[in-house]
Structure 1
Amino acid sequence: MTTKQHSPDSPVKHRHRPEGPQRHIVVFVFSIVLTLIAFAAVAAGGVNPTFAVILLLVMAVLQVILQMGFWMHLKDKGHMMPIIFMLGGFFIAGTCIIMSLYWVWWD
């Protein structure tokens, strides 16, 4: 395998540094904290059900963003096609859910 050498006058001086476990540990701890908050909100029992559902949905979206970005490395360069396909899938799934709810509750 050959490596590409840059001359000292080359404008490209950045080297790719491997991502260490520090970010993964921070994201893992943040995910655990979000899970504990969700569990506490439901286990408390005195929380308004509407607030609990909204809180759970917001924390679920945060979990998805964190896990897609850091664990699946979608924050890195060169991952635009998987992101586009996932957004397309979310759009189609959301449309199907909305239309099925509309169809069920049609007067």
Structure 2
Amino acid sequence: MATEQHSASNGSVKHRHRQEGPQRHIVVFVFSVVLTLIAFAAVAAGGVNATFAVVLLLVMAVLQVFLQMGFWMHLKDKGHLLPIIFMLGGFFIAGTSIVMALYWVWWD
């Protein structure tokens, strides 16, 4: 993100961040809609291999998560490291819990 510099009357330099316009949000929204349409088309097209459809849906879901986190929740911006660390910790704990629950259910 570009910054603009403005001189104050006392000679110091103030940094001001340029506001992010709606163009990037519109592009991300259209990309999210396209990903959703691809996922619906893969499921609706009956002749697609089930394994391929599941993998495609998982890839589309991961892309959607990154787009939504980065652009709609503004985690791509500076100063959002702590929320990212807490979310990664939550994903790790949730993933570990799911793997362990599956292991306990199917352990012989």
TM-score range, shorter chain: 0.7 to 0.9
Is the partner of 1:15 in helix, strand or coil? strand
Unaligned runs of 5+ in 1: none
Q: 1:57 corresponds to which residue?
A: 58
Which residue identity does 1:18 align to in structure 2? Q
Q: Indicate the RMSD between aligned Cα atoms, in angstroms.
A: 1.8
Task: Measure, in 1, the Cα distance between the counterparts of 2:58 and 2:68.
Answer: 15
Q: Return the TM-score normalized by structure 2.
A: 0.87
Q: 1:37 corresponds to which residue?
A: 38
Matches within 5 A, 1:1-107: 5=8, 7=11, 15-107=16-108
Q: Highest relative contact order (Cα 8 Å, sep 6+), 1 or 2?
A: 1
Task: Measure, in 1, the Cα distance between the counterparts of 2:37 and 2:59.
Answer: 14
Task: Measure, in 2, the Cα distance between the counterparts of 1:21 and 1:104.
Answer: 48
Report the CA distance between 1:15 and its aligned residue.
3.5
Which residue identity does 1:7 align to in structure 2? G
Output one character per residue of 1:14-63: Cα deviation in whole Å (capped at 9) or x when no partner: 53100000000000000000000000000001111111111100110000
Report how many residues are paired.
101
More strand as a share of residues: 2
Is the partner of 1:42 in helix, strand or coil? helix
Q: Return the TM-score normalized by structure 1.
A: 0.88
Is the partner of 1:50 in helix, strand or coil? helix
- Indicate the percent of aligned positions where both proteins have the same amino acid: 83
